[in-house]
Structure 1
Amino acid sequence: MSIFQRISFFVIAIVFLASCSSTSKINTLKPEPEDASPLIYDNKPSFISLPVALKIKDIENQTNKFLTGIIYEDNNIQDDDYTIKIWKQAPIIIENENGKIKTVLPLKVNVKYRIGTDKLGVALYTTQEFNFNGMITLMSSINLNNWKLKTKTEFKSMVWKESPSVKAFGKDVSITYLINPAIQLFKSKIEKAIDEAIEQSMDFKPNVLDALDKIATPSEMSPEYETWLRIVPTELYATEAQLKGQSIVMQMGLKCTIETLIGQQPAKIFDKNKIILKPVTKMPDNFTANIVAVSTYKDASKIITKNFEGQEFASGSRKVKVMNVALWHKNDKIVIALDLTGSLTGTIYLTGLPKYNETTKEIYFDKLDYAIDTKSSLIRTANWLASGVILKKMEESCRYSLQPNLEEGKKTMLSYLSNFSPMPGVFVNGKMGDINFTEVQLTNKAILAFLTVNGKVAIKVDGLE
């Protein structure tokens, strides 16, 4: 063989070997996604029962803080010959008596009384001033109206600690004789003062709305998976308040929607100004929460792309890597686009049905296969990749776990059930069961996993500041 023939043979061999190991390119027809209209889905509401126990001692403390100093004052001596000022002398005592609130109010009374006549334009008066102490007893019925604890108070009795008399114009005049008629005038003022003090000091609405607003702010459950929990309160319920022992008890309830969302922090869509307290006769003693886990195709694509990092799929000397993954919805199935590099470059398309694995808590794709045009193109250009063996290996990475979401979601929800204190003196405790899967639904923008959880919760008010 001549030197020219040897060189020619060598060049041909190199070209042949190079052609055998060179990269092939595939052109496949993209299954176009369906119309990307706004994401709309039916999120079943959750009902959370909230039994509430409010210590009467807290009502006593708050009422004493609100009701201080002068509680009644009449400075006009011309109309009835006396002026009167009444102070709260010592802390009010409030307790349960036969299903009603009994209020004992220690008073200090200052009275200026004039005695005399006004005849023929000549005024002949003498004025005496007295200070003495008494104890008023009032009884109140209770109810809850628009998150305010309201009472209807009735004056029951007044007991004077002393009953002095004074000599005026040669006569002994009993002070109680002068004061007792005035009680009919100021008792309604005392009743009103007690009712207003309890209503103002026991107005839970601002605190409840602030607590709901805090709960409704989306909280991040997992930075790695970019998952968020969003609770949207929609309605509040309450039964009649009742006295039991030294507490006021009532059954309250919250209607809300609960979502877990993947991606950027979602917007808070709760408007506390639109919440209305609805009266009901009875509430269940547990809660049922329906949770929807929303995975937009864009965000699910990011998670699955991470699954393929560092992996190679080989058949003999031929190897490919998946550089990027994109998902979308078409004809009730999910299209999975895989951008390949290596022995084959280009994009191949898989289709499958999303399913939920109860054991691994994963969304996976059942009946995963190459799209029709992709399969035809692979048979023509890269038959080695068309084999079910490599497809099966790829299928293992075409999934994402809800387990971290569920665990973080449960952890977040339990944080509201473990002595959670939305305000000083208010404590929320409870328990919840496992989060259970119900179904998967597809929309044109997201994969939805619907979950349920049951449990119990209770609120205790003890030690309000």
Structure 2
Amino acid sequence: MWSFHRICVFFIALFVLGSCSSAKKIEALKPEPEDASPLIYDHKPSFISMPIALKIKDIENQTNKFLTGLVYEDNNIKDDNYTIKIWKQAPIVIENEKGRIKTVLPLKVNVQYRIGTDKLGVALYNTQEFNFNGVITLLSSVNLNNWKLNTKTKFESIVWKESPSVKAFGKNVPITYAINPAIQLFKSKIEKSIDQAIEQSMDFKPNVLDALDKLATPTEMSPEYETWLRVVPSELYATEAQLSGQNIVMQMGLKCTIETLIGQKPTKMFDKNKIVLKPVSKMPDNFATNIVAVSTYKDASKIITKNFEGQEFASGKRKVKVMNVNLWHKNDKIVIALDLTGSLTGTIYLTGLPKYNESKKEIYFENLDYAIDTKSSLIRTANWLASGVILKKMEESCRYSLQPNLEDGKKTMLKYLSNFSPMPGVFINGKMVDIGFKEVQLTNKAILAFLTVNGKVAVKIDGLE
């Protein structure tokens, strides 16, 4: 009997101890999220000013590539007694001449000239062929129109290196006497050839659009935090082109929106066929960008869940762990649902206002407290958890830092400002200051942090292929 009594006492003790150590369950009412409408927010556009310097040497190189071989031909000898063919004999030289482009075009000329009469049906002609060289000088004004560098070229002068003559009917007839009047007829064609060569070789539109399209493709800043940078260009501005030393300079400006998004790779929002180049008289010499950091509640929940990994929150022998976190929007506040396991199982609900700590670069929740029904349930079932001590400890993990995202974003932007070359011969350089905070906004789907960046950027075109 004594042994049986001891055995009974042993099992009773196990039962009592087991009852004391079993977890209590909380069943608090869930604050239902508001209706999830589309994510719409007031995002102020950014303006990036880009001074551009284009080497005149590049215009020279591109024009020489475009304008080759035969530049003028007239094969009809009956109308004016000569035929003429003109070739570019040597590379064109282009330079700044008192605010205008001076083009020097070495030419080789082939002329067939006839002297004689056609009277009473009797043709008496003597036809001679000559080849000689000359240099034409042209002056051009410069402007930028519809993405193209345009020139308005005027014939300035022609200098013949030799002045041959022909002896016909006993007379010496200088051939230049016949050629110079012809110059008046074909000079407009030479002018047009130069203008067309510069316009077509200096058509920036395909290159600019390709560069913008590349810029608009979302860039992953941090695989760990699943953050992306998305730029959406909307308008492009340009001042008049001007000659300055051995450069053509102009100011260009880009209006765009810039976002950092958390989660899956966002879609590209740019249609290069819809952007328009707008002429302006002047622009500032710096850029001011407004960046919005978009944290959807789903993605913010994943980050905060990671913060709780490996942590226990204890009061005496009672302990709980947070296994999962969910966030949503309710009545202009954030609801934070914590799934607990340990001495208490179930879900508790916290509410608070998101704020931004500028020194730590993180989103935290001000006035974080238990939802009303959660607090009532904790007082009934787990008063030890209802105390502010454990809540304060949990509050430290209910935050997520934007610092890695901002640093990665800054590094990404600096890549575009450190001798970045979107195409051969084009180089972008600049500087930026620290990213500043403006405000936090709530939507039904995300927490938005609005930031600003200021700096300078310049584009140099040198060595176009």
Report the TM-score range of the alignment, normalised by the length of the smaller protein.
over 0.9
Q: CA deviation at 1:4?
A: 5.0
The residue that corresponds to 1:252 in the other structure is: 252
Higher mean alpha-carbon deviation, 128-137 vs 311-320, is at 311-320
- AA partner of residue 191 (structure 1): E
TM-score by length of 2: 0.98
Q: What is the 5 A alignment of 1:236-315? A: 236-315=236-315
Name the CA distance, whole Å, in 1 between partners of 2:7 and 2:379: 36
- AA partner of residue 45 (structure 1): P
The residue that corresponds to 2:394 in the other structure is: 394
TM-score by length of 1: 0.98
The residue that corresponds to 1:416 in the other structure is: 416
The residue that corresponds to 2:354 in the other structure is: 354
The residue that corresponds to 1:430 in the other structure is: 430
Name the CA distance, whole Å, in 2 between partners of 1:244 and 1:323: 66
The residue that corresponds to 2:49 in the other structure is: 49
**Residues 307-344 of structure 1: CA deviation (Å, up to 9, x unaligned):** 11111111122211111110000001000011111111
Name the CA distance, whole Å, in 1 between partners of 2:325 and 2:396: 14
Q: What is the 5 A alignment of 1:13-24? A: 13-24=13-24
The residue that corresponds to 1:202 in the other structure is: 202
Q: What is the 5 A alignment of 1:28-427? A: 28-427=28-427
Q: CA deviation at 1:2?
A: 5.0
**Residues 161-200 of structure 1: CA deviation (Å, up to 9, x unaligned):** 0001011222211110010110011000000000001101
Name the CA distance, whole Å, in 2 between partners of 1:312 and 1:87: 87
**Residues 48-77 of structure 1: CA deviation (Å, up to 9, x unaligned):** 110011111111111111110000011111
Identity of aligned residues (%): 86
- AA partner of residue 362 (structure 1): E
Name the CA distance, whole Å, in 2 between partners of 1:367 and 1:13: 44
- AA partner of residue 352 (structure 2): G
- AA partner of residue 96 (structure 1): N
Name the CA distance, whole Å, in 1 between partners of 2:339 and 2:125: 107
**Residues 1-27 of structure 1: CA deviation (Å, up to 9, x unaligned):** 855544443332221110100111111
- AA partner of residue 26 (structure 1): I
Name the CA distance, whole Å, in 2 between partners of 1:60 and 1:2: 114
Secondary structure class of the residue paired with 2:13: helix
**Residues 334-355 of structure 1: CA deviation (Å, up to 9, x unaligned):** 0001111111111111101101
Name the CA distance, whole Å, in 1 between partners of 2:354 and 2:184: 77
- AA partner of residue 67 (structure 1): L
Name the CA distance, whole Å, in 2 between partners of 1:313 and 1:30: 22
Name the CA distance, whole Å, in 1 between partners of 2:315 and 2:423: 63
Name the CA distance, whole Å, in 1 between partners of 2:43 and 2:70: 55
Higher mean alpha-carbon deviation, 44-53 vs 109-118, is at 109-118
Q: CA deviation at 1:220?
A: 0.5
Alignment length, in residue pairs?
A: 465
Q: CA deviation at 1:206?
A: 0.7
Name the CA distance, whole Å, in 1 between partners of 2:347 and 2:76: 95
Q: CA deviation at 1:95?
A: 0.9
The runs of 5 or more residues in structure 2 that have no matched partner are none
Secondary structure class of the residue paired with 1:384: helix
Name the CA distance, whole Å, in 1 between partners of 2:432 and 2:6: 81
Name the CA distance, whole Å, in 2 between partners of 1:113 and 1:201: 35
Q: CA deviation at 1:390?
A: 1.1
- AA partner of residue 155 (structure 1): F
Name the CA distance, whole Å, in 2 between partners of 1:376 and 1:244: 76
Secondary structure class of the residue paired with 1:274: coil
**Residues 291-313 of structure 1: CA deviation (Å, up to 9, x unaligned):** 00000000000111111111111
Root mean square deviation, CA, Å: 1.1
Name the CA distance, whole Å, in 2 between partners of 1:190 and 1:388: 87
- AA partner of residue 117 (structure 1): T
Name the CA distance, whole Å, in 2 between partners of 1:22 and 1:92: 93
Name the CA distance, whole Å, in 2 between partners of 1:304 and 1:459: 42
**Residues 373-407 of structure 1: CA deviation (Å, up to 9, x unaligned):** 11111111111111111111111111100000110
Name the CA distance, whole Å, in 2 between partners of 1:324 and 1:121: 109
